[in-house]
Chain A
Amino acid sequence: MALFSLNNVAIKGIAASVPNEVQSNSDLALIPEKDRDLLIRTTGIKYRRVAKFGTCASDLCLAAAEKLMASLQWEKESIQALVFVTQTPDYITPASAIVLQQRLGLSKSCLAFDINLGCSGYVYGLAMAASIIAAMPNGRALLLVGDVSSACISHSDKSVVPIFSDAGSATALQHDSSATAMTFNLESDGSGYDAIIIPAGGYRAPVSAEALQYMELEPGIARNQMHLVLNGIDVFNFSVREAPQNVQALLQHLGLKTSDVDSFVFHQANKLINDTIARKLQLAPHQAPQSLREFGNTSSATIPITIVSQLAQQLINAPAKLVFCGFGVGLSWGSVYLETKGMEILPLIEVA
């Protein structure tokens, strides 16, 4: 079981950024008007943020990182690690983290790499960045996490358009010998690799004229092989089975009850999934904040978006006991328990 603790690392600040363009599911032409209310009630998603064509996840994360470094008064030379989690990189190669090292003006002595994960990515990224900083006295890391899912979905596919939304984030980590341990429980199951997949465009099925051919699979669902496909039912079953079990195992390992935790910040998949997970864990509504209505499913960025939009007041000044839990594409999932003692949380950043 990948259940482990890391000492001597603290989160010093979190910032999140979204494109300023808002689209509403209330007037989404792809969905018949009579079905829109049920869609909004079931998914919990009313509004989505959509990046301009050509705006990358790295651009959103860059905006968040620059403001966060300025707010923390972190010298750029003091940052030794940059971890970028995304499924919508600038290029197939090289890794976007390295391009970001230069764009952010970080030192050449800073290590930088990408992680290809989606909805579980914030928790995994935190584990990787924290592992590095734990081993590095005076170490500081930037964890940048985000996706522009609008760039990889078919805009003629009603099974994905109303759900996905774009966002980026930056989390500042620092070596801190007074920090309480962060404890992670990370899991994966490749048997579900095709539950959420972009079938073509990698090297298993390279780009081809055929891969770009649009196919209408049913009314309201047309896409090509380079677009994201989501099997809603299998993702539902996976999420409501694995996320609660993973969190239970984490808490049991720590000898904690759900009532010992102030807030559980889950990946925001959709309201049906998130409500079911909260019910299975018997959480009080205030323990599991949601940001779906305003920001939808922003893939890897949902946890920082929820923190910035729902928990800023609680986390800026007061100590808190938190669980973050991400689950999705891979299939990949995991959770972390951590205690914070106040941190910088910036107001949401809007990018033109």
Chain B
Amino acid sequence: MDEFIAMLYDELGPLPTGALSPETQFRQLEAWSSMTALLIIARIDADYQVAITAAELASAHTVSDLYQLVKKPN
């Protein structure tokens, strides 16, 4: 999870330390946009070899929800 959050800091940054936790509602972040969403999907594809669909992403609200999608069986 720590590694996953570090990746999100990377793609959404710059963010203050502590801005992201498993409970963070990522859509509320100012840095969240359709462009950063696509960058995160691409990063997850590269780092975890997992494809997250638009519908799956729409069902995720917190950082933890997103992490569960990354860990889904392929």
A interface with B by C-beta (< 8 Å):
35, 38-39, 42, 159, 231-234, 236-237, 240-241, 272, 276, 279
Contacts and interface: CB of A to CB of B under 8 A. Distances in A.
B66 interface: no
B54 A276 contact: no
Given A38-B36, A39-B35, A234-B53, 7 more contacts: A42-B39, A233-B41, A233-B54, A237-B53, A240-B42, A241-B51, A276-B46
22 contacts: A35-B35, A38-B36, A39-B35, A159-B34, A232-B34, A232-B38, A232-B54, A233-B37, A233-B38, A233-B41, A233-B52, A233-B57, A234-B53, A236-B42, A236-B45, A237-B41, A237-B51, A240-B42, A241-B51, A272-B39, A272-B42, A276-B45
Which 9 pairs show the lowest CB-CB distances between chains A and B? Answer: A233-B54, A237-B51, A234-B54, A272-B42, A231-B54, A233-B41, A232-B38, A42-B35, A234-B53
B42 A276 contact: yes
B21 interface: no
Contacts of B54: 231-234
Interface string B36-65: 111101100110000111100100000000
B33 interface: yes
Contact of B33 (A35, A234, A237, A276): A35
Interface residues of B, number: 16
A241 B34 CA distance: 21
B36 to A, nearest CB: 8
B27 to A, nearest CB: 11
A296 B42 CA distance: 20
Contacts of A38: 35-36
Contacts of B36: 38
A240 B45 contact: yes
Contacts of A237: 41, 45, 51-53
